[in-house]
Structure 1
Amino acid sequence: MTGTIVDLLLWVCTLGCALIAGLYFAFSTFIMAALGRIPAPAGIAAMQAINAVIQRSLFMPLFFGSTLASLVAVALSLWRWAEPGAAMMLAGGLVYFVGMFVCTVVFNVPLNNRLDAADPQSEAARDTWTRYLRVWTRWNHVRTLASTGAAGLFVLALVLR
């Protein structure tokens, strides 16, 4: 029975990480580039709208739920260290927590907050936007790679079990 619970947890982690990775991938590969091609006030307003909507969407339970599941995976991997796949489970959980969650909280959210406080029509907002596009996207690449890597590590943990 406990093995089934661990397997279910690994599937939840895999799918949660993969869904988050897909969203971040879209932002890294074309959404931010598209927003950067339009006039700054429109790009700022669009990103402000995205930030407002995403906080009230199904993204938030997925974001926090997948983070919690990854931390449970870390704890279970240590508790069941002798079992096959435990090291991959530990690695997946740590990569996801640090590379996705901590990165988001420390880098992307403060940048979002600064952008949300900006008046899209002001000259200062244009400078904020130029920096935001570069720095936010760079940290989003990190989140994309961490989420994708964690999903792969959780798949490997499942295969090894």
Structure 2
Amino acid sequence: MMFKVLQTGSLVAAVVTTGLMAGLFAAFSYAVMPGLAKVGDRAFIDAMQRINVAIVNGWFMVSFMGALAFAGLAAALHWKADDRSVLPWIVAGFVLYLVMFIITVAINVPMNDKLMAAGDPAKITDLAAVRTEFEARWVTWNIVRALTSTAALGCLAWALVLHGRVTGKG
């Protein structure tokens, strides 16, 4: 009984945290970045620098790291289950989320760091060049993050549905 509670709990936590991350990246794709696209270079750089500082907080980190940890735990717990029909969906969700995680760490975070290193927007001599180097590439990779994390969410949500069906039989 406790084992099934752990399986269910880890899978629910994976779905919730993955959903929070998918929503964040999607919101940046369809609202934040299109809105910022309409402001001047100084305002764009200033806003993105401020967002990059504000986003590194406990709520973000729990979701960002938690989704990977909870999906991994759910996979491990379902690996040992009598009925492993849910496992492929959990593994697919984990892998898709891992792809998003790697993109974030390898591409978006270094770009954010470089934007931060450009310094105070009031003192940057070529604001347009800094923005041009950052914006299009960051937006493109954020869309990839939105798609992969949303696909991960879909896989994990389907795994939860299947888990419910399997658990309901026993």
Match of 2:129 among 96, 104, 127: 127
Whole-angstrom CA distance in 2 between matches of 1:156 and 1:63: 20
Task: Give SS of 2:118's match.
Answer: coil
Q: CA deviation at 1:49?
A: 0.4
- 1:67 corresponds in structure 2 to 68
Which consecutive residues of structure 1, in runs of 5 or more, have no partner in the other structure? none
Q: What is the match of residue 30 of structure 1? A: 31
Task: Give the Cα–Cα distance (whole angstroms) in 2 for the partners of residues 23 and 96 of structure 1.
Answer: 14
Kept in 1: contact 2:7–2:78 (CA 8 A): no
CA–CA distance in structure 2, aligned partners of residues 103 and 54 of structure 1: 17
Mapped partners of 1:18, 1:74: distance in 2: 17
Pair 28,4 (structure 1): closer, same or farther in 2 beyond 3 Å: same
CA apart distance, 1:125? 3.9
1:70·1:94 contact (CA, 8 Å) conserved in 2? no
Bigger Rg over Cα: 2
Shift of residue 133, structure 1, vs aligned partner: 1.3
User: TM-score when scaled to structure 2?
Assistant: 0.86
2:168 counterpart residue number: none
Return the letter of the residue paired with 1:19.
L
What aligned pairs does 1:15-94 form with structure 2 within 5 A after superposition? 15-80=16-81, 82-94=83-95
Say how many residue pairs are matched. 160
Question: What SS does structure 2 have at the residue aligned with 1:141?
Answer: helix
Please, which of 148, 151, 156 is the counterpart of residue 149 of structure 1? 151
- Letter of the aligned partner of 1:107 in structure 2? I
Alignment of 1:105 onto 2:93: no
CA RMSD, aligned part only? 1.7
d(CA) in 2 for partners of 1:70, 1:103: 18
Q: 2:14–2:66: 8 Å Cα contact kept in structure 1?
A: no
SS of residue in 2 equivalent to 1:5: helix
C-alpha distance 30-81 of structure 1, shift in aligned 2 (>3 A):
farther
Q: Is the 8 A contact 2:25 2:143 kept in 1?
A: yes
Output the TM-score relative to the length of structure 1: 0.90
Structure 1 equivalent of residue 166 of structure 2: none
The alpha-carbon distance between structure 1 residues 74 and 131, as it changes in their structure 2 partners (threshold 3 A), is farther
**Residues 25-45 of structure 1, C-alpha deviations (whole Å, 9 max, x = no match):** 110112111112111011101
